[in-house]
Structure 1
């Protein structure tokens, strides 16, 4: 019988580690005061070499941005510097050189790019746009200097037309009916029309398709919309609304440093030998049956590194309760593959493995996970999911939302954690809606709810793609859909990278 509780506590904000083993809660404070945690390690980058692909306008915008990123930016709307901390410049923040000029750049014809971005057939549209950007990767193996990261500067038109639900108002190219597209996806050939069969086997999302197709070049990429590179905080009518320039500088700088081979920060509260595995599922298309899905594992280590491993296809999806459940063998193979990949890359022994899944973890499934581990390794199965229609907590005065880190315990294995909320360091709430809690259920294994919640709160601060004081979800859950889409919706892409920086 489960003991009923109804207690509320506020967890301490997890600290992050930086240079000289200094610890602070906000990554922007730590980088400004001390520098990244990997300073002094032999493998850290001393400078970031990068390439750029985009239209002539996009390259000009990024060139101006590169020069600006070497300088400090201190303006904050209404002088709210706690909410929008000053950016000290790339060199000052990361102890690393940022060159104003790229090692390699490729200029795309803006008229050709716009033409293919408006093709009637969405599969042809996304595939052709990605082809345009891939042309900038072909010469990378021939360069004398290795490129650490490739930057794809994308016109906002691409963002609008190359997503799964995009609609084009003035399409170009042949009109392809939905019925004909479905026949082509099933492998049928047209007698009088030539087309690339592969384009119907890839994702309809530009971002996820290009992430998958560029992995064979062994260079992580960063996609940047042209409008993001605006070097001011203007909010004129009709313009895209952006966060302040200092905030955008922080975000892009931290991801460039991370994807360029550096490690900006790490969890100071992490325990050695402990890893967290986010289980990602993605349903296959209807041609494979309505129960068919693939599974993937995202493993995050005690030092913040991430590993991705793709599991098997199978009837893992249940239309009845809309849950994903693996067989014992599939669960064994998935975790065994992830653990083996970890051993190959790091050569260390893990002592504890915490599994995070949005779906229920069945007893059969957990037995498979346990079989994949050694007798010395502790395995804990936890269901973690945002509860959009779940309970809410309010402070008595109702002037501010609950404090980030509030844990509402219902029992020793069930509770709600608020990853968003009022942040004392910022003296405000940086969200727009009533904070949505994460529901935590310890379904298998032995662990205290307090300890699990503290770990999950810490994992909300390992998103190197966004330099802020903490997300509302841990990285094990936040990126599960994106990782699953990249791996599963691009089945013809067989060259897959094991490290997480290729997926975000």
Structure 2
């Protein structure tokens, strides 16, 4: 009888400015500043363009400016989970200020939204609202000199869309994803900021639903500032590297439905390095297997996708990777393995890890009322393991979740690296999300990015040129 023994992986550290390291994103930034704080390439200011009503643009701008003075921490028995926001600007560790200019604000009169709110279906409301904002954003882009475009929709429009009738035969349209897809060619990242973010009220719950719990003000300020900094070209943090580490090209592969088609017709790869710099590549069309109903690329398309990923990595980072890691949420078949291995061999790269990641049905139990700690790792066999990327976090002194967490199942379809090393790496990649500064959210950046990109590209015609940088999709 085989005895299985779980091990506890250490919480990975992150690297910040001046070589400072810390396990926590927010504490690391507060102590050391962003990774690129001493580099000439860092953003010296973040120039904000904005579209909304006169009221939402004014309140949103006031709130953003107020965050620069700092936001107090909420009262809590877990101060590490709810730290204060230190503010930004000259003399602070977050030294890059936000810059506002009245010429870069497009105010849309409320009556134009009132006409949208009178439309008869949810999809008509969403499509018309996207048309309106896209036109304003395109006009705003002609001004030039904008690092991030902020959209501040009014609460009345958001509530009308949510409560509107949706015809059963219609495909649901998501305002956030559809708008980002519409302006994907503007080459300026987009940030949606909802009224609840800057304290202008929140949507009332539907009958039978609970009110959605909002984050505390300091956490909101952290998340918005870091997202704006990343979208403006900044590098907040990275996974530390030691001299013996191989330069690694991380590739997340996903498949998605185009919005107007019932069949899955596209694949996409997200290419990352240890700094979280992400580039997007479109691939071929997957085919559904008659045997297991899973989606697979042909050998040729799999080879081309990995070949292009390596090329983009070389072009972007001016160096060749010594190792390629591919993450998928679906299994691999022989054709995909053959194609990806051929791509790596042709590039002269010796180390390849092809991994299938998904939520595990296997659960571990720990003594007491709390789930296993984050970082709990168990090898089930030579090619199969589970890892808790959510769970009790010693640094937070609690489990910061509402539901029992599920472990991440890691299957090695073909791998040169030891399972424990792969798990440590995935735990580190789960901290590379510039959209959320609470580091224990669970999914590695490769998989999280795959979902974000797929959600947006399903609204983009296959012939349309897309933005390469991940900042446009987060």
Query: Shared fold (TM-score greater than 0.5)?
Result: yes
Q: Say whether residues 1:385 and 2:358 are aligned partners.
A: yes
Is 1:216 paired with 2:185? yes
The equivalences for 1:447-458 within 5 A come to 447-458=417-428
In the alignment, structure 1 residue 22 sits paired with structure 2 residue 20:
yes
Residue matched to 1:126: 126
CA shift digits 1:301-341 (9 cap, x unpaired): 12221111111224x23476342211101101211222222
Q: 1:47-446 counterparts in 2 under 5 A?
A: 47-78=45-76, 80-91=78-89, 92-99=92-99, 101=101, 104-143=104-143, 146-160=145-159, 168=164, 204-230=173-199, 241-269=213-241, 271-284=245-258, 287=261, 290=263, 292-314=264-286, 316-318=287-289, 321-373=292-344, 374-387=347-360, 390-396=361-367, 398-446=368-416
TM-score by length of 1: 0.85
1:496–1:467 Cα change, 3 Å: same
> Relative to structure 1, is the Cα distance of residues 34 and 131 closer, same or farther in structure 2, using a 3 angstrom cutoff?
same
User: 11, 14, 18: which is aligned to 1:13?
Assistant: 11
CA distance in 2: counterparts of 1:251 and 1:113, whole angstroms: 28
Name the SS of the counterpart of 1:444 in structure 2: strand
Distance (Å, rounded) in 2 between the aligned partners of 1:468 and 1:95: 21
Q: Work out whether residues 323 and 352 of structure 2, in 8 Å CA contact, stay in contact via their aligned partners in 1.
A: yes
- How far did residue 393 of structure 1 move? 1.5
Measured after TM superposition, the shift of residue 204 of structure 1 is 1.6
Q: Deviation string for 1:411-440 (max 9, x for gaps)?
A: 232111000111111111111111110000
Task: Give the direction of change, closer, same or farther, for the CA distance of 1:178–1:13 in structure 2 (3 Å limit).
Answer: closer
Do the aligned residues in 2 keep the contact of 1:94 with 1:257 (CA within 8 Å)?
no
* Residues in 1 aligned to 2:306 and 2:145: alpha-carbon distance in whole angstroms: 33
User: In 2, distance between residues paired with 1:30 and 1:9?
Assistant: 26
Which segment is superposed worse, 266-275 or 433-442? Answer: 266-275
Match of 1:35 in 2: 33
| Larger deviation, residues 453-462 vs 469-478 | 469-478
C-alpha contact (below 8 Å) 2:76/2:82 kept by paired residues:
no
The number of residue pairs the alignment matches comes to 464
The offset of 1:262, in angstroms, is 0.5
Cα distance change, pair 228–351 in 1 and its aligned pair in 2 (3 A): same
| 1:71–1:88 contact (8 Å) kept in structure 2 | yes
Q: Distance in 2 between matches of 1:216 and 1:258?
A: 19
Preserved contact between residue 36 and residue 95 of structure 1 (Cα < 8 Å): no
Deviations 1:187-208 (A, max 9, x none): xxxxxxxxxxxxx9xx821111
CA–CA separation in structure 1 for the residues paired with 2:201 and 2:34: 27
Could you tell me which runs of 5 or more consecutive residues in structure 1 were left unpaired when the two chains were aligned.
172-176, 182-199
Q: Is the 8 A contact 1:284 1:489 kept in 2?
A: yes
Unmatched 5+ residue regions in structure 2? none
Which stretch of structure 1 is more off in the superposition, 491-500 or 19-28? Answer: 491-500
SS in 2 for 1:335: helix
Determine if contact 1:103/1:147 at 8 Å carries over to the other structure: no
Which stretch of structure 1 is more off in the superposition, 430-439 or 118-127?
A: 118-127
Q: 1:4 to 1:445 in 2, by over 3 A?
A: farther
1:56-90 CA-to-partner distances (Å, cap 9, x unmatched) read 22112212212211112223133542220111002
The alpha-carbon distance between structure 1 residues 88 and 232, as it changes in their structure 2 partners (threshold 3 A), is: farther
Change in 2 beyond 3 A, CA 1:492/1:449: closer
Contact 1:415 1:440 in 2 (8 A): yes
